[in-house]
Structures are given as C-alpha cells and as structure tokens.
Amino acid sequence: MAEQGQGAGIRVEALGAQFEQQAQAWAERLGLPLVDEMAEFAVQFGTDGLQIQQLGPQAPGPVRVDFVEGQAAHRRQFGGGNGQMIAKAVGIAQGVRPQVLDATAGLGKDAFVLASLGCQMTLIERQPLIAALLEDGLARARADEEVGPIVGRMRLLTGNAIERMRAWEGEAPQVIYLDPMFPHRDKSALVKKEMRVFRPLVGDDLDAPALLEAALALASHRVVVKRPRKAPIIDGPKPSHSLEGKSSRYDIYPKKAMKA
C-alpha cells in the first residue's frame, strides 16, 4: 500500500471522555491533530478500540480490525479450512504449514485465515494508519481465549515492504504473499466500505513490479500474488499457474517444492 494519503485531512477523536488519554497518545504517535474542522477522516478511539471513520454526508461506517467477531469469526468457523483456495495457493497440505510473509498486510484478513490454519505469519504494512488499526486489532484479540493462540502466530512489522525484504536478515520466509492494491476503473469495485476508506488514504500500488521482484529474490519456496480475477499479471516473470475463483485469482511463482 502507498505510504502517504492523497491529501486527505485526518484528525484524531476520542469517543468519550474516558478515551481522551488514548486518543492523545495515538495523535502524538501518528503525528495527527486532535482538532481539524476541514478533516475528511477521523481516527477514533472508543469502546471497540481504534477505527477510521470517513466524515461527511453518506459516509460509510467505521473501519476497524476485529479478529474475534464478525466476518473473521464466520470465516474461521465456516470458511472451508484447508480446502480454501488461499490455503492451496500457499501450499498448505497434510503435514505442511509454511512460514508465510504477508508483505501487503492491509487489515490482516488473509493473514488471519492462514494463521488460523496453523501457519506462522509475518505481516508488513507500510501505511501508518492501517498498521495502527492492525496493531490495535491484534492487541485486543490476544485477550480472547479462542483467538489469542491464533494471533500469537502473527507478527506485525511496519515500514516499506520492498526495503524490508531487500534487507531481510535471518531465515527467509518459505512463502511470500502479495495482495497489492489494483487500479480499479470500475466504480462498482469501490462499494466495499474498506475500499471507500482505503482509496483516498492509500492509493494504488504502483510499485507492484518491484514488490514482486523483491519477493521472488527472498522467498525460499514460492511467491503467491492475489489479483482480481480479470486483472493482468504483474509486470515481470510470468507465474507458472493460477488458481481462479469467482472474483479473484492466485498467481503462483514456485521456486522449490513444499515437503512435510
């Protein structure tokens, strides 16, 4: 995800007097004002933790990271387990749970699915606001008896993923997973609440070819790129094959076979 927003004003708000101290801390950490009458977005702290709210008429609801309830819980319980396409894409099989680097973590949804299936996950998110949401969601999930062990397999790093991969120290991840923001031209693709918030703040990943190049240089076994089903492949080497679903596909770049 792009590191800087596209000029959107952002302020920090406390959703109640009891949360003013936490809001102040986040404002200082993110370098954002507590007062900005012209802001288009608000980073809010309240009972449900940290969230981003687009301001103005017809704005969608807030965006937050919640690994315990809602969509994450439903997918964890009814998502299809090891039969899911993402599980097959990263190489999950009998006795095989690869170590995965999700270099474009976003809100952590795909990383959480893989962690729930037993993979050790490292996440990189370079947009500070999105990384803050992810950090807050992971912290709240650790207190849950059922979900805590899952997020215990998720380690969050911040900063530029390309630079981090190029300067990687220690054992290389077996699989690197990429889901770069795609330059949509179809307005229907912006309907999802998260996308309506992400686009002004994050923009598109125009450095996806460099991201793929760095991933291919680092991963020990394979690189997996998630794309909209009809999107072109990322410029660079061609994938060996793809797994295609209704709305998305996974382009597979193998380097070495997975073994139990």
Q: Which is it for the CA torsion 16, 144, 123, 247, positive or negative?
A: negative
Determine the pLDDT at residue 189: 45
Annotated binding residue 66: no
Alpha-carbon span 115 to 105, nearest angstrom: 13
Q: What's the chain's length in residues?
A: 260
Q: Which residues pair with 13 in a beta bridge?
A: 44
Determine the pLDDT at residue 183: 60
Alpha-carbon span 161 to 152, nearest angstrom: 21
Please state the φ and ψ torsions of residue 57, each to the nearest 5 degrees. Answer: -65, 145
Q: Which is it for the CA torsion 203, 36, 49, 128, positive or negative?
A: positive
Determine the pLDDT at residue 57: 87
Alpha-carbon span 254 to 184, nearest angstrom: 27
Give average pLDDT by consecutive 10-residue segment, the chain, 260 residues: 55 97 96 94 96 89 89 66 90 94 94 96 94 96 94 96 96 96 53 64 75 98 95 94 93 92
Annotated binding residue 126: yes
> Up-side HSE of residue 57: CA atoms within 13 Å toward CB?
0
Annotated binding residue 179: yes
Determine the pLDDT at residue 213: 97
